[in-house]
């Protein structure tokens, strides 16, 4: 013990040891937090890259195939990556999901409070000369949206991962020659009616990722130069940039707009 | 043109028999620079003599007048009615024990929190009046001061969705208190002691980062900065803690 008068605090000395339940519990809590944060950060980085590469189809189908060929054959990283991402995807679900209250009643309590705080701006008509600086609050509802999108991503993302894993190792080339991803394969997936699923997955994953990045930075780095306002700006940027990019990509893959509407 | 304000106030007296929670409506002429402290007193004087609410300092220092004002937990004494819509809804703070109407008991929770955090300087040093006092770095002193400015109003805990669901959670006020003693070089608690207290799901890792505490804190405490500091301290402190235990 470091300088603690154990006569005044008799409990202080006896209760600490590496084997003590409290210490083990604390180590476990730290591990849980690291796992949920790091898997989230990994998946966010993955999605940032994935959507950019996917959007190469907006430039040309040839570029898209070049990128796919490079990642599958020149540097064969797509195949191991899909396994890694799948594993991390489920690990992240279990570890990050531990914070979602199990009881519906508790979730409703959180939702109600979040809604109240968000709506409170309607009851406040802030005078610009007021002494009190009132900040708008919507991050509680944002977290609830993160939980909602998490459920959507869990369902649609798992399906997508399975489909991609299947595609990557089987001969799905439309010409019957290629193994792996081509523009045709990707387009046929989206075109054949899966565009609804891909649009929902894309928007959900982008929202989930942007909110997650915002919260992760605030939780770990708010006392550095990366203050909350920067994190919030990053959240807006990530959400809108990737939503627009992703929407354009899904539309491009789904074929011309008339095709979607008919 | 003066407005007529409509107050919708939550009423419930748990000590009165057959009293049911309900909303009472009062009307009041707005006067210049009217704040809720004065407004509630006027209502109590003229309209509802049994209306319960807490006020002590009327200057944003004592922290007893926190309530939900139009859906937002904040201090009533610092709230001017000119900042509010024509209809003003007042509810007691959630989470804390209701004493009646707008009055809640924050004291029991804060007392319990202070005991759990062991909110005092832990040192074995005996005070020697003949020795010149030790100096403290100004930056450190400022950090301690910033955390120390907490007035224990309870707004942060009332706005925390996590606290509503996990009542054991130390909340923003508790974590801020921990930060205050972590910053303090006079506190001789070892890393492992902190680690066991803070690196838990009722400590800093219970926080899921919804940031409502930071948005509603009437004293603008740098709460998120303190939490980040604690988090990283726990992240890097585990090694030191293990070492300390091995030496012990």
Residue B77 has pLDDT above 90, yes or no: yes
Does A12 reach chain B within 8 Å, measured CB to CB? yes
Q: Which residue has the higher pLDDT, B88 or A124?
A: B88
Cα separation, A99 vs A147, whole angstroms? 10
Residue B191 is predicted with a pLDDT of 84
A126-130, A190-194, B122-126 — which is least confidently predicted? Answer: A126-130
Which residues in chain A touch residue B124, judged by CB atoms under 8 angstroms apart?
A: 3-5
The whole model's pTM is what?
Answer: 0.89
Residue A207 has pLDDT above 80, yes or no: yes
Is the distance from CB of A32 to CB of B243 less than 8 angstroms? Answer: no
Given pLDDT bands bounded at 50, 70 and 90, which one contains residue A180?
A: low
Q: Nearest by CB to A132, which of B83, B199, B226?
A: B83
Percent residues over pLDDT 90 in chain A = 51
Could you tell me the domains of chain A?
30-120+137-255 (1.20.1300.10)
Question: Does B159 sit within 8 Å of A223, measured CB to CB?
Answer: no
Q: Which residues contact B72 (CB under 8 A, 6 or more apart)?
A: A117, A120, A123, A124, A134, A137, B159, B216
Residue A175 has pLDDT above 60, yes or no: no
Cα separation, A200 vs A196, whole angstroms? 6
Residue B49 has pLDDT above 60, yes or no: yes
The pLDDT mean for chain B works out to 92
Question: Does B159 sit within 8 Å of A113, measured CB to CB?
Answer: yes
Which residues in chain A touch residue B216, judged by CB atoms under 8 angstroms apart?
A: 117, 135, 137
pLDDT, tens digit (0-9, with 9 covering 90-100), for A108-135:
999 999 999 999 888 887 667 776 667 7
Q: Nearest by CB to A117, which of B72, B80, B205?
A: B72
Report the gap between the CA of A43 and the closest CA in chain B (Å).
Answer: 18
Question: Does B215 sit within 8 Å of A139, measured CB to CB?
Answer: yes
Does A62 reach chain B within 8 Å, measured CB to CB? no
Report the gap between the CA of A179 and the closest CA in chain B (Å).
Answer: 44
Question: Does B82 sit within 8 Å of A123, measured CB to CB?
Answer: no
Given pLDDT bands bounded at 50, 70 and 90, which one contains residue A19?
A: low
Q: Nearest by CB to A132, which of B78, B208, B222?
A: B78
The pLDDT mean for chain A works out to 84
Average pLDDT of the segment spanning A24-39: 93
Average pLDDT of the segment spanning B75-88: 91
What would be the CATH architecture of the domain defined by B4-104? Roll (3.10)
Question: Does B161 sit within 8 Å of A109, measured CB to CB?
Answer: yes
Pairing, β B22-29 against β B66-69? unpaired
In the numeric block, which tokens belong to residue A247?
A: 């929407």
Does A28 reach chain B within 8 Å, measured CB to CB? no
Report the gap between the CA of B26 and the closest CA in chain A (Å).
Answer: 17
Residue A125 is predicted with a pLDDT of 77
If you search the block for the tokens 């690196």, which residue do you land on? B199
- For CA atoms B154, B159, B162, B165, the dihedral sign is positive
Residue A103 is predicted with a pLDDT of 92
Q: Nearest by CB to B165, which of A4, A110, A130?
A: A110
The backbone region for A29, taken as left when phi is positive above 0, alpha when psi lies in -120 to 50, beta otherwise, is alpha
Given pLDDT bands bounded at 50, 70 and 90, which one contains residue B70?
A: very high
Does A4 reach chain B within 8 Å, measured CB to CB? yes
Nearest 5°: CA angle at B158, between B98 and A229?
Answer: 165
CA nearest to B54, candidates B141, B122, B152, B124 = B152
Q: Which residues contact B191 (CB under 8 A, 6 or more apart)?
A: B237, B240, B241, B244
Residue B159 has pLDDT above 70, yes or no: yes
A119-128, B177-186, B199-208 — which is least confidently predicted? Answer: A119-128
Is the distance from CB of B115 to CB of A152 less than 8 angstroms? Answer: no
Residue B25 is predicted with a pLDDT of 96
- Considering chain B, tell me which residue range(s) the CATH 1.10.1060.10 domain(s) occupy: 106-247
In the numeric block, which tokens belong to residue A157?
A: 């993302």
Given pLDDT bands bounded at 50, 70 and 90, which one contains residue A259?
A: very low
CB pairs under 8 A between A and B: 186
Bridge partners of residue B28, in order along the sequence: B5
Residue B115 is predicted with a pLDDT of 93
Residue A123 is predicted with a pLDDT of 84
Cα separation, A212 vs A250, whole angstroms? 23
Other CB atoms within a 10 A radius of the CB of residue B115 amount to 10
Question: Does B125 sit within 8 Å of A3, measured CB to CB?
Answer: yes
The interface residues of chain A toward chain B in range 123-182, judged by CB-CB distance below 8 A, are 123-127, 130-137, 139-140, 142-143
Given pLDDT bands bounded at 50, 70 and 90, which one contains residue B66?
A: very high
Report the gap between the CA of A90 and the closest CA in chain B (Å).
Answer: 20
Residue A7 is predicted with a pLDDT of 54
pLDDT, tens digit (0-9, with 9 covering 90-100), for A217-234:
999 999 999 999 999 999
Question: Does A219 sit within 8 Å of B207, measured CB to CB?
Answer: yes
Cα separation, A161 vs A201, whole angstroms? 11
Q: Nearest by CB to A5, which of B124, B225, B231?
A: B124
Given pLDDT bands bounded at 50, 70 and 90, which one contains residue A1?
A: very low
Fold that domain B106-247 belongs to in CATH: Fumarate Reductase Iron-sulfur Protein; Chain B, domain 2 (1.10.1060)
The 3-class secondary structure across chain B, one letter per residue, is: CCCEEEEEEEECCCCCCCCCCEEEEEEEECCCCCEHHHHHHHHHHHCCCCCCCCCCCCCCCCCCCEEEECCEEEECCCCEHHHECCEEEEECCCCCEEEECCEEECHHHHHHHHHHHCCCCCCCCCCCCCCCCCCCCHHHHHHHHHHHCCCCCCHHHHCCHHHHHCCCCCHHHHHHHHHHHHHCCCCCCCHHHHHHHHCCCCCHHHCCCCCHHHHHCCCCCCHHHHHHHHHHHHHHHHHHHHHHHHHC
Which residues in chain B touch residue A223, judged by CB atoms under 8 angstroms apart?
A: 222, 224-226, 228-229
Residue A12 is predicted with a pLDDT of 52
Residue B45 is predicted with a pLDDT of 95
If you search the block for the tokens 């989206």, which residue do you land on? A190
Residue B247 is predicted with a pLDDT of 67
Percent residues over pLDDT 70 in chain B = 98
Given pLDDT bands bounded at 50, 70 and 90, which one contains residue A72?
A: confident
Does A218 reach chain B within 8 Å, measured CB to CB? yes
Is the distance from CB of B213 to CB of B223 less than 8 angstroms? Answer: yes
Average pLDDT of the segment spanning A245-252: 91
Q: Which residues contact A88 (CB under 8 A, 6 or more apart)?
A: A39, A42, A43
Residue A261 is predicted with a pLDDT of 42
Given pLDDT bands bounded at 50, 70 and 90, which one contains residue A262?
A: very low
Given pLDDT bands bounded at 50, 70 and 90, which one contains residue B54?
A: very high
Question: Does B211 sit within 8 Å of A131, measured CB to CB?
Answer: no
Residue B196's Cβ-count burial label (10 Å; 0-12, 13-18, 19+) is: buried
Is the distance from CB of B124 to CB of A5 less than 8 angstroms? Answer: yes
Q: Which residue has the higher pLDDT, B242 or B213?
A: B213
């Amino acid at each position: 013990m470091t300088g603690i008068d154990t006569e005044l605090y008799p409990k202080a000395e006896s209760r600490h040891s590496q084997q003590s339940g409290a210490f083990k519990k604390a180590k476990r809590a730290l591990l849980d937090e690291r796992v949920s944060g790091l898997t989230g950060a990994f998946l966010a980085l993955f999605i940032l890259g994935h959507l950019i590469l996917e959007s190469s189809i907006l430039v040309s189908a040839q570029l898209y195939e070049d990128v796919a060929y490079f990642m599958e054959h020149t540097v064969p990283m797509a195949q191991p990556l899909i396994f890694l991402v799948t594993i991390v995807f489920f690990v992240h679900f279990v570890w990050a999901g531990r914070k979602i209250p199990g009881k519906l009643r508790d979730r409703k309590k959180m939702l109600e409070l979040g809604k109240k705080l968000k709506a409170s701006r309607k009851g406040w008509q802030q005078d610009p000369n007021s002494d009190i600086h009132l900040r708008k609050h919507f991050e509680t509802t944002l977290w609830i949206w993160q939980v909602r999108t998490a459920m959507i991503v869990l369902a649609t993302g798992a399906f997508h991962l399975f489909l991609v894993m299947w595609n990557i190792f089987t001969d799905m080339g439309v010409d019957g020659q290629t193994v792996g991803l081509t523009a045709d394969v990707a387009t046929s997936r989206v075109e054949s009616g899966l565009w609804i699923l891909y649009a929902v997955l894309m928007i959900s994953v982008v929202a989930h990722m942007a909110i997650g990045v915002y919260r992760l930075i605030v939780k770990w780095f708010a006392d550095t130069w990366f203050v909350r306002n920067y994190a919030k700006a990053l959240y807006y940027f990530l959400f809108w940039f990737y939503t627009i990019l992703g929407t354009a990509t899904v539309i491009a893959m789904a074929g011309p707009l008339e095709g979607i509407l008919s | 043109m003066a407005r007529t304000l409509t107050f919708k106030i939550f009423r419930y007296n748990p000590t009165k028999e057959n009293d049911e929670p309900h909303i009472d409506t009062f009307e009041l002429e707005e006067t210049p620079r009217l704040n809720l402290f004065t407004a509630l007193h006027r209502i109590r004087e003229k309209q509802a003599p049994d209306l319960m609410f807490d006020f002590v300092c009327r200057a944003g220092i004592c922290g007893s007048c926190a309530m939900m004002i139009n859906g937002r937990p904040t201090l009533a004494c610092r709230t001017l009615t000119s900042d509010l819509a024509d209809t003003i809804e007042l509810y007691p703070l959630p989470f804390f024990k209701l004493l009646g109407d707008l009055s809640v008991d924050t004291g029991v929770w804060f007392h319990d929190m202070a005991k759990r955090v062991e909110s005092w300087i832990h040192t074995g040093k005996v005070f020697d009046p003949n020795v010149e006092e030790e100096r403290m770095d100004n930056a450190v002193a400022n950090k301690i001061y910033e955390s120390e400015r907490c007035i224990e109003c309870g707004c942060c805990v009332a706005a925390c969705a996590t606290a509503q669901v996990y009542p054991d959670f130390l909340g923003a006020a508790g974590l801020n208190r921990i930060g205050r003693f972590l910053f303090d070089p006079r506190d001789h608690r070892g890393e492992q002691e902190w680690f066991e207290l803070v690196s838990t799901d009722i400590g800093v890792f219970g926080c899921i980062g919804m940031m409502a505490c930071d948005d509603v804190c009437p004293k603008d405490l740098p709460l998120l900065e303190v939490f980040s500091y604690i988090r990283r301290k726990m992240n890097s402190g585990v090694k030191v803690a293990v070492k300390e235990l091995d030496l012990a």
